Amino acid sequence: MCGIVGYTGPAKAAPILLEGLAKLEYRGYDSAGLAVRDGDAPVQIVKSKGRLRALAEKTDEGRALAGNVGIGHTRWATHGEPSERNAHPHVSGAPEDHDRSADPSDVVGVHNGIIENYAELKEKLRKNGYSFYSETDTEVAIKLVEYYYKKYGIGPIDALAKTMVRVRGSYALAVMFRDYPGEIYVARKDSPMIIGVTEGESFIASDVPAILNRTRSVYYIDNLEMACVRPGSVAFYNLDGEQVEKQLTTITWDAEAAEKGGFEHFMMKEIHEQPKAVRDTLHSVLRETETGKEIDLSSVGLSEEEIRRVSQLHIVACGSAWHVGVAAQYIFEDLAAIPVRVELASEFRYRRLLLDKDALVVIVSQSGETADSLAALREAKRLGIKTLGIVNTVGSSIAREADSVFYTVAGPEIAVATTKAYSAQLMAMYLLAVQFARVREEIDAQAYADYLTELETIPDKIARLLEDKDRLQWFAAKFSNAHDAFFIGRGIDYAISLEGSLKMKEISYLHSEAYAAGELKHGTISLIEEGTLVIGVLTQSALYEKTVSNMVECKARGAYLMGLTGYGNYSVEDAADFTVYVPKTDPHFMASLAVVPLQLLGYYLSVSRGLDVDKPRNLAKSVTVE
Ligand code: G6P
């Protein structure tokens, strides 16, 4: 979703801003812009619709803009179509001034998030003589800052604080004031923002990769806080305008981790990083003791007593993280005998929650910033229910606010379509389920040891699967002109189907649906016709025959069948036209293996259709608006 970068220091700002925005391209955007100040000269603003490349060309890679302080933005449209007018930065001045290229801006800024009461504020500002040139909520926010700044004759921090009290919604704001050249002011609520400092230079960014080439020392600005960013120094303030102290954090990941490293796309690189992501996540909690291996959740902050007390689980998430929840429900119920409900965060947050006081709400999120997931977490906390985050991004909002955090160790994920973070989340769920089962005495010591041994084999099995990509590439080329695909499965195979189908549609734009195999004949089977691709997921031996029957029903109506199953189940070839086999593992953990060919299928379909694999249209990596 939208990206923010800022710079103040001795160097020329625009090339640094463009470099940072390029690192945020993966988040998804439809227009981009820069504002750069050169001392007292009028601020220079350049915007363009579409790819960042256009903005780079317009500004001669940034060289055409003089000035050592600036802000940049990639926008993912929420209020108003993608266009230059609606692109950020936005200014406090009138549009006419802007067009005459007089300095339109006592205040100029960029914004991530959504100002919910922008219509009401726009009206208020109109009554006070303001006019608007864009359809955005951001322009309203910037004008409101200027309104308070001038009306009360106060400084930037006080003007921002008054604005923060008045607006509802979420925001990360980066603002420059004409009267304070060389400084960038930042305000944040529910939308991520970090500030990096080095000797004599400061950077701001909505996400770490944007500035990782420049510095590893960052501050996380908290909710409802502000900052004044000067070259090489930062001062933080709370809503009362009082200065607050902050700790510098060192980013430990490698800048390499945010580069493609020889792969054509980030998605393929991240698919190949899955064995490591899964192994690292496993080893983050696996301990060797005198009596054997065991899972130690002390870093998560979940005690055995708390595990025993849990009466029900509510797994809440969005997108692929929700699919992890769907798989996890079968595993938790089967192994640990705990009732589980899995919910989309966007639904959970708006219903009357009748949660048991001993329930545990588990929020799953790669970014730790997904707006609906964060809101669901807060709702559970408000009701006094214990929360556990399964989060990949250290220091993110969900990680900081959840009562306990299980960090997945997938490293930064850049491709919009998640792969390694999904796999790491699955591993985290397995570990929790096995530990819950053991602590609650649903499984004995031997079964516990066996499950742990099996979990340790999964990274290598994923690696083996990755050696056999060619057949899927061939298959994808054959089906690259297909119109519809249906993924069917039961139980955990249904959860795998959901993820396989999402991978296909999000990057190859091929319509696909996932159906619980038994449900297909209640309507959807009417869509099956000659040549429709039906992918049957058949990793659960207890349900194998049932799903094969449903596949055969589709074949009778003309479908082309692909089967996805474990080695040994060769009878599937009696029905399927094309079969993909995965190594065997305990049925509870099959999603980790079966998802890999489906990720590859989505990837190769996207490539063979000539699409932008890492940045699919209309999608965003981190969805920070609801
Ligand atoms: C976006 C991404 C998905 C992701 C979902 C939840 O839609 O494109 O890949 O699954 O958000 O994101 P989270 O960061 O909360 O896991």
Q: Which of the listed residues 622, 624, 626 should we mutate to test ligand 1's pocket, taking the one with most ligand atoms within 8 A of CB? A: 622
**Alpha carbon nearest to ligand 1 atom 3, residue:** 319
pLDDT at 621: 83
pLDDT at 2: 84
Rounded distance between C-alpha atoms, residue 594 and residue 615, angstroms: 24
582 close to 596: Cβ distance less than 8 angstroms:
yes
Residues of the chain with pLDDT under 70: 1, 95-104, 254-258
Residue type (1 letter), 541:
S
Catalytic residue among 12, 386, 461, 621: 621
Ligand 1: which atom is nearest the Cα of residue 319? 10
Catalytic residue among 2, 228, 318, 554: 2
> How does DSSP classify residue 199?
T
Ligand 1: which atom is nearest the Cα of residue 425? 16
Catalytic: 228? no
* Full 3-state SS string of 32-65: EEEEEECCCCCCEEEEEECCHHHHHHHCCCCCCC
Go through the chain and tell me how many residues it has: 626
Integer angstrom CA distances of residue 592 from 28, 194, 333, 497, 596? 27, 33, 18, 12, 7
DSSP 357-372: TT-EEEEEESSS--HH
Q: Which of the listed residues 29, 320, 414 should we mutate to test ligand 1's pocket, taking the one with most ligand atoms within 8 A of CB? A: 320
pLDDT at 99: 46
pLDDT at 353: 92
**Alpha carbon nearest to ligand 1 atom 8, residue:** 621
**Alpha carbon nearest to ligand 1 atom 5, residue:** 319
Ligand 1: which atom is nearest the Cα of residue 502? 9
Interval 93-138: pLDDT, tens: 875 554 444 456 789 999 998 888 899 999 999 999 999 999 899 9
| Alpha carbon of 216 to ligand 1 centroid (Å) | 25
H/E stretch holding 292: strand 292-295
> What separation, in Å, do the N-terminal and C-terminal C-alpha atoms of the chain show?
12
Rounded distance between C-alpha atoms, residue 514 and residue 532, angstroms: 14
| DSSP β-bridge partners for residue 562 | 535, 578
Is there a common fold for 266-466 and 470-608? yes
| DSSP β-bridge partners for residue 46 | 34
Ligand 1: which atom is nearest the Cα of residue 370? 15
547 close to 537: Cβ distance less than 8 angstroms:
yes
- Tokens, residue 94: 């009138």
| Alpha carbon of 152 to ligand 1 centroid (Å) | 42
Instruction: Name the one residue in this structure whose structure tokens are 């993608």.
Output: 82
| Alpha carbon of 237 to ligand 1 centroid (Å) | 31
| Alpha carbon of 540 to ligand 1 centroid (Å) | 27
Ligand 1: which atom is nearest the Cα of residue 28? 8
Q: Which of the listed residues 26, 318, 323 should we mutate to test ligand 1's pocket, taking the one with most ligand atoms within 8 A of CB? A: 318
Angle between helices 591-608 and 492-508 (to 10 degrees): 20
**Alpha carbon nearest to ligand 1 atom 2, residue:** 621
Rounded distance between C-alpha atoms, residue 76 and residue 401, angstroms: 26
| Alpha carbon of 623 to ligand 1 centroid (Å) | 7
What topology does CATH give the domain 470-608? Rossmann fold (3.40.50)
Ligand 1: which atom is nearest the Cα of residue 416? 8
111 close to 131: Cβ distance less than 8 angstroms:
no
**Alpha carbon nearest to ligand 1 atom 7, residue:** 319
DSSP 386-449: EEEEEESSTT-HHHHHSSEEEE-------SSS-SHHHHHHHHHHHHHHHHHHHHTTSS-HHHHH
In the structure, which protein residues have their CB atom closer than 6 angstroms to any atom of ligand 1? 318-321, 365-367, 370, 373, 416, 418, 619, 621-623
Q: Where are the domains of the chain?
A: 3-257, 266-466, 470-608
| Alpha carbon of 374 to ligand 1 centroid (Å) | 12
Residues 6+ apart with CB under 8 A from 23: 207, 209, 210, 211, 212, 213, 258
**Alpha carbon nearest to ligand 1 atom 15, residue:** 365
| Alpha carbon of 326 to ligand 1 centroid (Å) | 15
| Alpha carbon of 621 to ligand 1 centroid (Å) | 6
| Side-chain half-sphere CA neighbours of 63 within 13 A | 3
Q: Which of the listed residues 418, 506, 612, 615 should we mutate to test ligand 1's pocket, taking the one with most ligand atoms within 8 A of CB? A: 418
| Alpha carbon of 368 to ligand 1 centroid (Å) | 9
436 close to 461: Cβ distance less than 8 angstroms:
no
Rounded distance between C-alpha atoms, residue 293 and residue 285, angstroms: 10
Ligand 1: which atom is nearest the Cα of residue 506? 8
Of 343, 338, 337, 344, which Cα lies nearest the Cα of 314?
A: 343
Ligand 1: which atom is nearest the Cα of residue 619? 8
| DSSP β-bridge partners for residue 220 | 194
Q: Which of the listed residues 623, 624, 625, 626 should we mutate to test ligand 1's pocket, taking the one with most ligand atoms within 8 A of CB? A: 623
What's the CATH number for 3-257? 3.60.20.10
| Alpha carbon of 1 to ligand 1 centroid (Å) | 11
- Tokens, residue 187: 């305000």
What topology does CATH give the domain 266-466? Rossmann fold (3.40.50)
Residues 6+ apart with CB under 8 A from 79: 86, 114, 118, 135, 136, 137, 138
pLDDT at 95: 54
